[in-house]
Amino acid sequence: MKILYFISVLGHGRGGHFHSLNHISAKIGEEHNIKIISIGPGESEVVESNPFFYKHINFNGLNFLQLRTVINAIRKSFNPDIFHCFDINSYNLIRLFISTEYNVLIVNKCGGPNSLNFPFIPNLILFSKENFDFFNIQKKYQESTLNLIPNRVLPVQIEENNLIQKDPSIFTFVRICRIGRSYYKSLIDSITLIENLILHNVKNVRLIVIGTIEDENVYKFLCQHKLVQEKKIVILINEVYTKEASKMLYLADAVIGTGRNLMESASLGIPILTINSKDNIPILLNKSNFQDAFKTNFSERNEFDNYHKKINLQAIIRAVEDPEYYQKLCLFSKEVFDKYFSLQTVKEAYPDIYRKAIYSDKKIIQDKRSIIRSFFLFFKNHKRKAI
């Protein structure tokens, strides 16, 4: 089977769905003929590192004729069975050139909040149950084929090094994220957790934050915290730590994560915590609350039906102080990784969707407003990059 993947790059090209495309396509490419094309004013090192990366098209929202010429040339030379877009903006461009009378178009919605402005798509793959449940009840999508396939990731490969020595006498929480407004709540909640643990006489704990600076004001604000001054919180921003931050997880006794970052961390078989939208400290995941976070793809929108702050904090303290309980949590993390996140199932799940879509007669309904929004985003980000 021939599959042509598309993804738009409006910014830095390092977000979660770029990694998702990179990992999923690489696995599918083991048995199928695939190519990957990125489109936009930005470029993605993540996608371009893929062995099946074919071409980047520099599209600024205005050079439409050039884009059409390049896409048509690729379409004729490669003649794919499947056109698969990994975001809505690339889809809004590609569908202008691809007739669904003769071609099959698939789109991934890689998590994120629900939106009534999302255009009709005949074949849709969803990462989160939150999105799946939403689309399933909307009249607009009754004719769509909806597929729920939670994101799949590669196991983390950690490499202990001499940059920072792990201190076995200190229980270390690690949060990997960009330091800016988009992850501000998770950063503050992680710090609040350490404050609460210390208030409960759990002294041998620390938090390590690893990430590039997205907002200087946020970084400066964090650095002023007294626990940073006391070395109870360590912020690592140098590229030697952030370029492949997951390799620094040898430092972690537990990980505070969201999205694919949490999924990758689960592969290490260590306790995983995520963000609770209704409280100010992360929640320790276990069998009783995992499905609540799974529903929202472990995002900052997580809500927990039977949450009790005191019980959660006691469980975290127990994880720090009780080796037997800690090992149970480690086993739980590895079990959920193998069941829900391992990339091994991708080679069967995606081609099965492709084969079913080929024999489907569902057609695209044009949504001019969605197309116009996408063109504006390409143009706006092109102008921003030029400044």
Residue type, 195: E
Same fold: 2-152+343-386 with 171-341: yes
DSSP-derived pairing of the beta strands 283-284 and 272-274 = antiparallel
Q: Helix, strand, or coil here: 327?
A: helix
Which tokens sit at 251?
Answer: 């430092």
Q: What CATH number belongs to 2-152+343-386?
A: 3.40.50.2000
Closest CA to 106 of 90, 118, 89, 122: 122
Q: Where are the domains of the chain?
A: 2-152+343-386, 171-341
d(CA 110, CA 7) in angstroms, rounded, equals: 12
Per-residue pLDDT of the chain (387 residues; tens, 9 = 90+): 999 999 999 988 888 889 899 999 999 999 999 999 999 999 999 999 999 999 999 999 889 999 999 999 999 999 999 999 999 999 999 988 887 777 889 999 988 888 888 888 889 999 989 999 999 999 888 888 999 998 888 888 887 777 888 999 999 999 999 999 989 999 999 999 999 999 999 989 999 999 999 899 999 999 999 999 999 999 999 989 988 888 899 999 999 999 888 999 999 999 999 999 999 999 999 999 999 999 998 989 999 999 999 999 999 999 999 999 999 999 999 999 998 888 877 888 999 999 988 876 655 555 677 888 888 888 888 777 655
Which tokens sit at 99?
Answer: 């007739």
For domain 171-341, the CATH superfamily is: Glycogen Phosphorylase B; (3.40.50.2000)
State the alpha helices, DSSP H only, in 152-308.
Answer: 184-199, 216-223, 226-229, 239-242, 259-266, 290-295
d(CA 32, CA 24) in angstroms, rounded, equals: 12
CA distance to 71, 130, 154, 192, 209, per residue, from 317 (Å): 56, 30, 30, 14, 20
Question: Would you put residue 303 in left (φ > 0), alpha (ψ -120 to 50) or beta?
Answer: beta
User: What is the pTM assigned to this prediction?
Assistant: 0.82
DSSP E strand boundaries for 143-204: 145-148, 171-176
Q: How many CB atoms lie within 10 A of CB 124?
A: 21
Which tokens sit at 163?
Answer: 């940059």
**DSSP sequence for 20-49:** HHHHHHHHHTTTSEEEEEEESSS--HHHHT
